[in-house]
């Protein structure tokens, strides 16, 4: 049996369409992708894995929009024989990671929901820095939102992850967010799928 191949960015977008994802989900993952691939470029992360993970992290939202979209997304990825590393990114992207007890309390099936690898952390944190379909936010803005919702432990985890990823990138991740926010860029195949063009400087 051959080793599963990492899907290209265009193939990931095709998977979202085939699974029936709505436009707002695609716009969201495209914005997450724009932050995540920039973090991958600045760090030692596997760019292909980060790009695919960013685009497919919410594939489970094609079926449901509660927290179980995480396990649903992992199921879809396994059914499509996608690489295990990609399945892990999808399964471990929620909040700033969930402990075994938190996952159980949330009704998730047994599994690992805490990001471990650099690639898993990049996609998880990029997701936290995107509000809705395209609103980019800095760490401080994301922390305020988490604290407002009563997720103080998650906020602490997110802050630690932000510091770790900023060190890995050699640049504060907030600067990446500000740069993308100032141009409004959505690059590559995403632009064709969402009807958005790269902003001209």
Retrieve residue 177's tokens: 């967010």
**Start-to-end C-alpha separation, the chain:** 48
d(Cα 88, Cα 127) in Å, to the nearest integer? 15
Nearest to 180 by CA among 116, 132, 137, 124: 137
pLDDT of 85 reads 98
Residues of the chain predicted below pLDDT 70: 1, 133-134, 184-188, 195-201
Dihedral sign from CA coordinates of 37, 125, 90, 21:
negative
Task: Kindly give, in sequence order, each residue whose CB lies less than 8 Å from that of residue 70, ignoring residues fewer than 6 positions away.
Answer: 60, 90, 91, 93, 94, 108, 113
Q: Which residues pair with 130 in a beta bridge?
A: 136
* Cα distance between residue 149 and residue 134, in whole Å: 20
Task: Please give the structure tokens belonging to residue 76.
Answer: 């879809």
CATH architecture of 9-194: Orthogonal Bundle (1.10)
Q: Please report where in the chains the tokens 């685009």 appear, as a residue.
A: 55
The structural domains of the chain, with segments of one domain joined by +, span: 9-194
Report the C-alpha gap between 62 and 196 in whole angstroms.
21
Residue keyed to tokens 């600067």:
175
* C-beta neighbour count of 20 within 10 angstroms: 10
Looking at residue 134, its pLDDT comes to 66
Q: What is the reported pLDDT for 86?
A: 98
Q: Give the per-residue pLDDT at 184.
A: 66
Q: Is the full-model pTM beyond 0.85?
A: yes
At 12 the pLDDT is 97
């Amino acid at each position: 049996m051959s080793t599963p191949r990492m899907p290209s960015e265009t193939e990931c977008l095709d998977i979202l369409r085939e699974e029936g994802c709505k436009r707002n989900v695609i716009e969201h993952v495209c914005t997450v992708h724009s932050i995540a691939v920039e973090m991958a470029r600045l760090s030692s992360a596997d760019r292909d894995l980060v790009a695919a993970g960013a685009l497919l992290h919410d594939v489970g939202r094609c079926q449901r929009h509660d927290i179980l979209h995480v396990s649903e997304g992992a199921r879809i990825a396994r059914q499509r024989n996608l690489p295990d590393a990609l399945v892990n990114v999808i399964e471990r992207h929620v909040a700033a990671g969930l402990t075994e007890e938190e996952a159980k309390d949330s009704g998730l099936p047994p599994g690992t929901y805490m990001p471990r690898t650099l690639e898993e952390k990049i996609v998880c944190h990029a997701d936290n820095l995107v509000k809705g379909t395209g609103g980019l936010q800095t760490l401080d803005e994301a922390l305020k939102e988490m604290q407002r919702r009563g997720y103080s432990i998650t906020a602490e985890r997110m802050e630690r992850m932000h510091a770790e990823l900023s060190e890995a990138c050699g640049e504060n991740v907030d600067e990446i967010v500000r740069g993308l926010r100032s141009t409004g860029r959505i690059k590559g195949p995403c632009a064709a799928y969402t009807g958005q063009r790269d902003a001209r400087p």
